[in-house]
Amino acid sequence: MKIVHLGIGIVPVPPGDIAAGIEEYIFELTKNLALMGNKVYVIDIKGGIKQRVKREQSLAKFHTLWRFPLPYKFKLFSLQRYNDYIMYPIDSMQFMIFAILSTIPMNKLLTKEKIEIIHTHQRDTALAAVFTNKLTGNKVQVLYTPQRVTSNLPKWLRRIVHFPEILALNWVDHVIALTPAFKEHLVEEYGLNPTKITSIPGGGAAVDEIEQFLSLKTEKSPLATIILCTGMICERKNQLTAVKAIAEVVKTNSHVKLVFTGKVGEVDYYKRIHDYINENKLTNFVEFKGEVSKQELYNLYHTASIFLFPSAAEVRPAVIIEALTFRLPIVASNIQANTDILLDKGCAVLVDPHDIDGIVVAVTRLLKDATLRHSMSEKAAVLSQSMSYKNVARQTMDLYEELVKRKRMILELK
């Protein structure tokens, strides 16, 4: 099968040349679809040396587009409290420009190759794909995998702000929801027909890569007491609740350390967390690593004894899947995106994201009970295998084939 995947047009980010979570998902999915024998074309922005090397290792064919440099957040640290306001229109412009430019190579591929699927991952590229498909005779199936949490605005205002999203979701042929919970959200928020949405849970994890990393490591120390929490520092991720819980945990477990990784997304929230740490004399028990390399992140997963994820809202909690692959017992919020993956699997304790006492009880119990941690670790290893990118690619391919068959039947009837 011949498939076109559209990137989102805004990462990897120079000078670090770092792929964000969505781009990593797109890359791993396309790579595994190509390994299954499909001809996969990817339209994306140009990256630096790291991205070029990475893309060359994939069997997918990349068509790269120019983009103008943007003043990304790490360049505006002194203005970070205003970054969301500054970056939103700039990011929106970048999405739109990339979507428009993507129609050029997309049009060439649709006219020269027998493309059967266009898979998009951002609303502007979804609209561009629908337009290009119609322009070339409506020959292919256009899929869209939305990956953003709906903003916390009044519903009438959301209808205005997310109008392009509404158009994209309604105009594409099919939608992929990365969790069953997000499928329900799309039906409720946008009034989509449930039959137009397929849930492919998890979103994938680089299981083979992580397993190879672990094969080179010695067994972790049974005395390891690092509690790892990953993700951008922002109110939605709820790190302050984690710190408040640790303040109670260390009263009876003074050897514990809570380690955060992830860039600062909301500087005011980050300051509130640090104020709480200083006021409660927690500087020896909490550490912020900031953005780290994949190697360093993997080392942290390996040395940690518990993974803590108190996020208040998620679409695709990929870090949970990573934690499972590293066989970490998990304490996580009981939001539906997490329960879709973890409920009744025996590898996680789920609590209300704002229940500090509940988090304290769960973490303390795991710290004291090595047998329970071992049992949860074994169950995590089993569950992670079902969420590998290889498995996600298989499910995605099954959907592609079903949609292509349906398209052919419709064309034959005409």
The predicted-structure confidence for 27-84, as pLDDT tens digits, reads as follows: 889 999 999 999 999 999 887 777 888 888 888 999 988 776 554 544 445 555 555 5
Residues (pLDDT < 50) of the chain are 71, 73-76
pLDDT of residue 73: 47
Separation CA 169–CA 186 (nearest Å): 9
pLDDT of residue 337: 85
Q: Is it true that the peptide bond before 12 is cis, omega within 30 degrees of 0?
A: yes
Whose tokens are 């397929």? That residue is 198
Q: Is it true that the peptide bond before 317 is cis, omega within 30 degrees of 0?
A: no
Separation CA 173–CA 381 (nearest Å): 36
Which pair of structure tokens corresponds to residue 176?
Answer: 């992929």
End-to-end CA distance of the chain: 23
How would you classify the pairing of strands 61-65 and 39-45? parallel
Contact 229, 260 (CB under 8 A): yes
pLDDT of residue 107: 96
Separation CA 372–CA 363 (nearest Å): 12
Separation CA 148–CA 122 (nearest Å): 9
pLDDT of residue 380: 94
3-state DSSP call for residue 100? Answer: helix
Helical (H) or strand (E) element with 302: helix 294-303
Question: What's the CA dihedral at 133, 6, 311, 286 to 10 degrees?
Answer: -170
Separation CA 128–CA 164 (nearest Å): 11
3-state DSSP call for residue 220? Answer: coil
Which residue type occupies 16? G
Domains and CATH numbers, the chain: 2-204+389-413 (3.40.50.2000), 207-385 (3.40.50.2000)
For the entire predicted model, the pTM comes to 0.79
Which pair of structure tokens corresponds to residue 175?
Answer: 């939608």
Which residues have a Cβ under 8 Å from the Cβ of 149 and sit 6 or more positions away? Answer: 236, 313, 314, 315
pLDDT of residue 216: 83
DSSP at 57: T
Separation CA 361–CA 367 (nearest Å): 10
pLDDT of residue 387: 80
Which pair of structure tokens corresponds to residue 397?
Answer: 């391919």
Separation CA 18–CA 28 (nearest Å): 15
The DSSP string of 348-400 is EEEE-TT-HHHHHHHHHHHHH-HHHHHHHHHHHHHHHHTTSHHHHHHHHHHHH
Whose tokens are 């709906």? That residue is 150
248-292 per-position pLDDT tens digit: 999 999 999 999 999 898 889 999 999 999 999 999 999 999 988
Vertex 159 angle, CA 156 and 165, to 5°: 165
Separation CA 43–CA 22 (nearest Å): 14
